[in-house]
């Protein structure tokens, strides 16, 4: 006799509205995922401004599709206007859907807290203007940015095309200037496919690696009251009951 799995709704940046690979790889045997797309084309403040007002509408759509929780799976979409706006986004999603809700930025910060990480090395694909907004968000949220290294990309398609080797080099380059003074390496942007490289970097650097793509999936599971543990993904997924 089959048992229905719980369903999590994801608001994702690309217009295609496809479920990202990380939630499926980590939790596809436990949870059903459904996604809707914002239609974000460029990772710039102007690009975010053009789509962010749809979050409430899409939260309602996910609830109507049977979701039991809703997550905004775009780090920069939730950090670019600061911590207060990130909190407002959560309130909007909850109000419009009637469901528990979170953002990718919230999930990332909960992952930092799980390790007691305050001093961060940050690796991103973003352009400098978005990197500045991220650093401001982290500092205002109580974290210290030891060093930040970015790739200077703004098109969603270019970010999705970043290879595993490029990701590994991005993490290593970011850590070069840290001189062992960081509590964790943060790889920001849910469009970077980090499931494999996260564990590789943790083994090489001997430091927790928190990536947006993986932390976002972990945070979505915790909305359902589940631990977020998984067989792959790195140290974060060994924590909890």
Full pLDDT tens readout for the chain, 241 residues: 346 889 999 999 998 889 999 999 999 888 999 999 999 989 999 999 999 999 999 999 999 999 999 999 999 999 999 999 999 999 999 999 999 999 999 999 999 999 999 999 999 999 999 999 999 999 999 999 999 999 999 998 899 899 999 999 999 999 987 776 899 999 999 999 998 899 999 999 999 999 999 999 999 999 998 888 888 888 999 986 5
Instruction: List the beta bridge partners of residue 175.
Output: none
Four-point Cα dihedral 174, 231, 5, 22, nearest 10: 30
Q: What are 194's two structure tokens?
A: 């980090």
């Amino acid at each position: 006799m089959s048992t229905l799995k719980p369903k999590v709704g994801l608001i994702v940046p690309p217009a295609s509205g496809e479920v990202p690979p990380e939630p499926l790889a980590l939790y596809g045997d436990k949870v059903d995922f459904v996604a809707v797309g914002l239609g974000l084309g460029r990772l710039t403040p102007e690009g975010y401004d053009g789509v962010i007002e749809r979050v409430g509408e899409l939260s309602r759509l996910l609830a109507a599709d049977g979701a039991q929780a809703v997550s905004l799976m775009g780090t920069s979409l939730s950090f670019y206007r600061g911590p207060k706006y990130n909190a407002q986004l959560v309130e909007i999603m909850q109000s419009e859907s009637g469901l528990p809700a979170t953002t990718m930025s919230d999930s990332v910060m909960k992952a930092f807290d799980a390790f007691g990480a305050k001093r961060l090395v940050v690796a991103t694909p973003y352009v400098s203007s978005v990197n500045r907004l991220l650093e401001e968000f982290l500092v205002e949220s109580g974290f210290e940015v030891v060093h930040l290294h970015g790739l200077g990309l703004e098109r969603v398609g270019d970010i999705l095309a970043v290879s595993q080797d490029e990701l590994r080099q991005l993490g290593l380059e970011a850590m070069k200037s840290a001189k062992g003074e960081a509590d964790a390496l943060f790889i920001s942007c849910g469009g970077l496919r980090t499931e494999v490289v996260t564990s590789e970097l943790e083994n090489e650097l001997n430091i927790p690696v928190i990536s947006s793509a993986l932390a976002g999936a972990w945070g979505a599971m915790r909305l359902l009251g589940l631990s977020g543990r998984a067989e792959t993904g790195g140290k974060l997924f060994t924590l909890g009951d």
